Structure 1
Amino acid sequence: MARFRNKKRKDFVKPVVKKQQPSVDHITGDKIPKSFVFSRGKMPGSLRQLQMDLRKLMLPYTALKLKEKKRNNLKDYLNVAGPMGVTHFLILSKTETAPYLRVARTPQGPTLTFKVHEYSLAVDIAQSQLRPRCPQDLFKNAPLIVLSGFGTGEQHLKLTTIMFQNIFPAIDINTVKLSSCQRIVLLNYNKETKLIDFRHYSIRLQPVGVSRRIRKFVQNHQVPDLRRLQDVSDFVTKAGYGSESEMDDEAATVSLPSDLGRVNRASTKSAVKLQEIGPRMTLQLIKIEEGLCSGGVIFSEYGNGDEKSKQDAREENNEEEEEEEMEET
């Protein structure tokens, strides 16, 4: 008599296919810039957190979970950048005197080197606010870029403007969706101090003349507690909430061409409000190189006889040379 073999049934598991990000904008036809944010050398914990904040800022076209190893050098990142379509590097480093941020265009440069005078992490900014705001879908779209004070006609400022404009995807004002404009990166150049204020904000629209209590009710679809009220009008005009309606300043309001959410309707006025989400930095442009972290120097702040800046540059170059020698050995 034949024997029947009991075979274990194996459930078919469909392979997980990761959705790849587009490399070309389907509207403008331009190549979408992508970035790597990493560090060189030993970094304290606060700068490591700043690195993660910058990665989050550059979403969605960046490697949020980019793995770094001590033996990785610049060539390793460059070899991976080509097949992945990465166009820019943001490199953090630290010397004995100050941290530095380099913004480079791959694969042939140029490279802009900034000295970080001051910085604040995103968590610090959130803790300083009464109502921090960071919704889940805030980082699904790239931020807008706004540059202020760079139109002085100087060559190094023109290069800085071009670099930061190209590091984020371009937008078409005729076809862009308002729902995708949720963040903004602001760079303000001070001519007197030669410092750049780097800020990162979230954008939100609120209908003018509507109290916060009514706005939350419409957005959340929650049934209000009316047990202690005599009339529904008491819910609308309750003391402490009517004063929270948005300002009616004409300079701070816009008329929407289309509906945006449940409370901001087309052809109605809405107040534009910016809320800082971080990180925050104060930068100084000290050097522009032709190549990728190498090559001829197009601009140098060291030419003004600032001995302290020269010393910082020598320390940074010495540390990089020591790292390269250790990597080779």
Structure 2
Amino acid sequence: MVKRRNKKRTHVQISEEEVTKVPRSMVLKICSNREQSHALGQLVHDFRQVMQPYTLTKLRERKANKLKDFLVMAGPLSVSHLLVFSKTKQGNTSLRIARTPRGPTLHFKVLNYSLCKDVRKFVRAPKSTEGSAYLNPPLLVLNGFTSERSAAPEEVLLTTMFQNMFPPLSVLDTKLSGIKRVMVLHKDKETGEIDLRHYAIETKSVDESKAVKRLKTVKTKIQKPIPNLANKEDIADYLLDPYAGAYTSESEVEDDAMVEVDQTDKNIKIKAEDSEKASNGTQKRAIKLVEIGPRIKLGLRKIEEGVCEGKILYHSFVRKTDSEIKALEKQHAKKLKLKEERRKRQEENVKKKTEGKTSRAKRGKEKAAALSGKKDEESGSERDVQDNDNEDEQEDLFDHDDDQKFDDGSDDEPFAGGDSESESDSE
């Protein structure tokens, strides 16, 4: 019999510390039954694709779920950010980005948005939304944001909040081949509106023309037919056609988009026919961005200190004086004090209930033990009585057997008859 092979896990195990360091998100849709809409649900689905792979893509919300239900599960699931989409009674869509477990929370108004299916309609060569592109997080590009200390506090907080939503890039550990998506956030300096775009990165070789590539791949790609050369007098007319290049019109490559990739790695195996081309160790490639969606335009409304509650740190429309701010801080301190007192009172009540339950359980056990002891005593006394009765019955039976043994139905006495016979025999 063949011995069964034991599989050994050779991949690198990720420690718990590394797992907790990676920011994870949870994209939610929380709104009442009246404000439910299919477009909002599709927007949530598309935004989960943007936040992959460190997000819950198969999360299903129920109508009865509240924000507290997800906050309770954020800790065990190591979720660091909550992105909550909701819809008001007036039909306005809003987005809340909260840092768990202590805040802050950014409130945005979704001015307009386009779904992924809408973006695919007007893109000339749409990119597939499935595959290896979602195995790594997207590259975050911030344009128009300020991170200087001299800037306004809300500007610095906004920048750091977006940066902490994705894992930081390491020059030593990050592989360029793994970066296949880009999320661009552009802030308009005049209006303050934020445009969100999601792109896929494509790299194509520019050393060869489209005609040459097509002829080289005719043998392998069966679905693509052989190019029609009936209108050409010579093969050179097809190969040197300026309109048959790799990029035309909107997809034309600019000089700034071309980069040189070093291929001097010793581990790379090069075929004999490609050795001449790779003799210099570099290859020109064109980088192109293909939009995959969604598109969202956001407007910052306010910033709260806690998770969707607490003191308002910034508001885009309302301005408070110093005296009003101090009064609000006092009210907020009172609320925190009352909340702490209620929490302590609740803990005391829970403690009393648990103690009462334990004492009741203890009393029940003692009562059950006492009842079982009484039952044992009663059963023991009954057994003694039954044993005595059995002994009396056995004695009566023995006496009755003796009477039957000596009384055989004859009138002669056994001992007298025996003696007379023995005496007569002796005579």
Change (3 A) 1:22 1:249: same
Is 1:82 equivalent to 2:75 in the alignment?
yes
Instruction: Determine which of 68, 87, 92 is the counterpart of 1:94.
Output: 87
Superposed, which structure 2 residues align to 1:2-81 within 5 Å?
A: 31-41=21-31, 42-81=35-74
TM-score by length of 1: 0.76
Change (3 A) 1:137 1:296: same
Q: How far is 1:236 from its partner?
A: 3.8
Superposed, which structure 2 residues align to 1:1-329 within 5 Å?
A: 31-41=21-31, 42-95=35-88, 96-134=90-128, 136-151=131-146, 153-215=151-213, 221-222=220-221, 226=226, 229=229, 236-237=239-240, 240-242=243-245, 244=247, 249-258=254-263, 267-303=282-318
Q: How well do the aligned residues superpose, as a CA RMSD in angstroms?
A: 3.2
Which amino acid is the alignment partner of residue 77 of structure 1?
A: F
Q: How far is 1:269 from its partner?
A: 2.2
* Count of matched residue pairs: 282
**C-alpha offsets along residues 14-47 of structure 1, whole Å, 9 cap, x if unaligned?**
xxxxx9x957797xx9811111111111331111
**C-alpha offsets along residues 294-327 of structure 1, whole Å, 9 cap, x if unaligned?**
111111112269xxxxxxxxxxxxxxxxxxxxxx
Instruction: Mark the runs of 5 or more structure 2 residues left unpaired by the alignment.
Output: 1-10, 321-427
Counterpart of 1:160 in 2: which secondary structure? helix
Which amino acid is the alignment partner of residue 182 of structure 1?
A: K
Change (3 A) 1:163 1:272: same
Q: How far is 1:212 from its partner?
A: 3.4
The separation in 2 between residues aligned to 1:30 and 1:81, in whole angstroms, is: 12
Which protein has the larger Cα radius of gyration, Structure 1 or Structure 2? Answer: 2
Q: Which has the higher contact order (CA 8 A, sep 6+)?
A: 1
- Asked if the contact 1:208/1:247 (under 8 Å) is kept, the reply is no
The separation in 1 between residues aligned to 2:75 and 2:82, in whole angstroms, is: 12
Runs of 4+ in 1 over 6 A off after TM superposition: 23-26
Counterpart of 2:317 in 1: which secondary structure? helix
- Asked if the contact 1:88/1:103 (under 8 Å) is kept, the reply is yes
**C-alpha offsets along residues 103-158 of structure 1, whole Å, 9 cap, x if unaligned?**
11111111111001010001000011221112522211110101111117221111
Counterpart of 2:75 in 1: which secondary structure? helix
- Asked if the contact 1:207/1:270 (under 8 Å) is kept, the reply is yes
Change (3 A) 1:297 1:179: same
**C-alpha offsets along residues 62-117 of structure 1, whole Å, 9 cap, x if unaligned?**
11110111221122112212111111111001111511001111111111110010
Q: How far is 1:214 from its partner?
A: 4.2
- Asked if the contact 2:218/2:226 (under 8 Å) is kept, the reply is no
Change (3 A) 1:214 1:64: farther
Counterpart of 1:244 in 2: which secondary structure? coil
Change (3 A) 1:58 1:76: same
Q: How far is 1:242 from its partner?
A: 2.6
Which protein has the bigger strand share? 1
- Larger displacement relative to structure 2 (211-220 or 246-255): 211-220
Q: How far is 1:240 from its partner?
A: 4.0
Counterpart of 2:21 in 1: which secondary structure? coil
The separation in 2 between residues aligned to 1:84 and 1:141, in whole angstroms, is: 19
The separation in 1 between residues aligned to 2:205 and 2:218, in whole angstroms, is: 12
Q: How far is 1:231 from its partner?
A: 7.3
- Asked if the contact 1:209/1:247 (under 8 Å) is kept, the reply is no
- Larger displacement relative to structure 2 (53-62 or 221-230): 221-230
The separation in 2 between residues aligned to 1:43 and 1:210, in whole angstroms, is: 52
Change (3 A) 1:227 1:79: closer
**Structure 1 vs Structure 2: percent identity of aligned residues?**
38
Instruction: Mark the runs of 5 or more structure 1 residues left unpaired by the alignment.
Output: 1-18, 306-329
Q: How far is 1:257 from its partner?
A: 3.5
**Residue 316 of structure 1 aligns with which residue?**
none
